[in-house]
Every structure is written in C-alpha cells, then in structure tokens.
Structure 1
Amino acid sequence: MSNRVSTIARKAYACFGMKIYYQDLYRKSKEQEQAINASFCETLDELLAISDCVVLATPFGGSKLITKETLARFKKGSKFVNIARGSLVDESALVDALKSGHLSAAGLDVHENEPNVNKDLTQMRNVTLTAHTAGGAAETQIGFERLSMENIQRVLTGQEALTPVNKQLMKK
C-alpha cells in the first residue's frame, strides 16, 4: 500500500467505518494494519471476491490488470474505482460488467484511451468520471487552463466544445 493508498484507507476507515482489505507486493507492518483494522489478501482474486468496493491505485505494470476475466471475479454488485492508469482497465469489459449489473457502479479519473473517454461510460448513470490532476506539473495546469478557455470560447461562439462534459444536459 503506497502512502496515497494508505491515506485513502485511513479516511475510509475513520469516516465510514469501512473494513479495509488490501493486496500489494509487500505486506504492511502489523502496527499499520491494526491502526485501520486492515486485512492483507494474498491474491488479487481473494481481494476481489470479498470487497464491496475496489480502488485501483497502482503503477502501470505493462499489461491490463482489470479484464473481462478479473471483472468476473469481482463480488456481484460491487463498485470499482480507478485512480491509477486508464491503460490498466479494459473499458469495454467494464461497460459490460456495469450493464449486466455484475458491478453496481464505477468511478474513473483516468481512461483507457486518454484523452478520449469511452462514449458508453459517459452515458451511464452508475459511472462517475472526473479529471485526473494528481501531480500535475505547471505545464499541465497551463494546458488545462488553455483547454478550458478554448472550450468556453467555442461554446460562447456557437461551436461545439472540444471536450464536452455532461453534453446531454446542454441545450441545442
């Protein structure tokens, strides 16, 4: 569990009384586990089978981690949050798992084909999509500001936004 993940786990435990399960390459110390009543899972499959909500927060390891096969091993009705890398998730399989009800909801701030967002995910009411800005450099922030201003300018001049959000709510 990285520091970022440890912070998420501490907050989930303190604020919501969530039971924390985690899977990582290295097990935390007993003191760290006891501080938030966390339980270590030896395998990803073990974690997926018992978790009501899975938060993916890991560096990219060279291949997809969440696939049709791994999604099938998620607890039925569970939720999935990806704050890691979009390339770790097969979004077509995620859409299928959400549509079938196997997963009840998903939250993503990263996308498989960034900067493009999966059109199916944008239309689903059980999906929350947010901007991933963690660790953004000054150049990144400047780029976000420039893109925001370009979007505003386009909309105010009657053109379509470059990166529309909640487009279905906009009047034509």
Structure 2
Amino acid sequence: MLVSLVGIGTIFLFNDPTPLLLAPGPDLDWPLGLFGAAAGLWAALRIGRLPNVRRQTLGRISLIVMIPLLLGYGMANAGSRLQEAFAFRQGTTMEQVVVKVLTTDRREGRKFPRKRYHTATVANPLQPGNFEIDIDAATFGRIEPAGTCARIMIERVPSGAARLIRPLDWNVACPGASGPAQA
C-alpha cells in the first residue's frame, strides 16, 4: 500500500504548471502502467496472504483491485514526469511563437469567497490541438476569442520536446494578417 501511495504522491511532487506543447519521446505510459499494475497485483497477493488479512474477504478483494490500479496509474504518471524533467535538463533553446486565441473562459471557484479563474485557449503551434493559459482579469477583458493573437515564449530541447514558458504579448499581428489584431 505504501508503494502505491508513493506512486500517486509523485503526481504532486513532479507537477509542472507549464503546459507541455510537444511531449518527449518515446511514450512509456503503457509499459510503465502495465509494469505498475503487475507489481501492484503481486504486492496485493502477497499482502492478502498475511494472517489478519486472510480472514477478510472484502479487504482482500479491494486490495487486489485498488493496489494495481493505483500503482499502474502512479508509475505511468511518474514515468512521464521524470521523462519530461530529464528531457528539459539538457541544453534548451528559447523562441517566440505567435499563436491564435481560440476561446476565453471565466469560471468561479466553489469555496467561499468565490475566486474567479480566467483562461484563454490557444492553438498549439507545434502539433494539432490546443492548450489553456491562465490569465488575469485585465487581460481577459482586453482579448477577443478568434480575433486576437498572442506571442508566447516556448522552450525546446534537441529531442524535439517543447513547453510553454510564458505569454509575452496579447495584441500582436496574426500570421497572414496585414496589421495588429484589435483587442
């Protein structure tokens, strides 16, 4: 059980708030997840043979289900986080890229006092898809979805992986447009 909790705990330990634009290869989620599930099943069966646990059928069944799930998910996540951390330890280059703002969103938190969260969804410049950037209320009021482009700073590594560092400007000329976007 301690091993599975450590696996899940690595989610918070290796949490990186910067969005990953292009993941480092190779993708090890399936092999590490299967390895974690197999190790969890082995550990659950070993724990199920202990004298106090042997009498509790429901406890043994829950161990056989939960430990492989937790350890499989934890190992896959820890592997992805470690792979990202090691990839960005090498020599990196910084570059500026212009991206189109697709949508903006405002949400309120559930706790009192209610905090407002503002996000902008922008197109991923390196692969199909998009990602979210947290923004403040003033920036949220200035930008229009599908009418504003932003200049962002990204970090690249020689293996091809890239991640967002920070947004630089929200009112820049969009690629293919004749002038600056209107906010």
TM-score by length of 2: 0.20
Higher normalized strand content (fraction of residues): 2
Structure label with greater radius of gyration: 2
TM-score by length of 1: 0.20
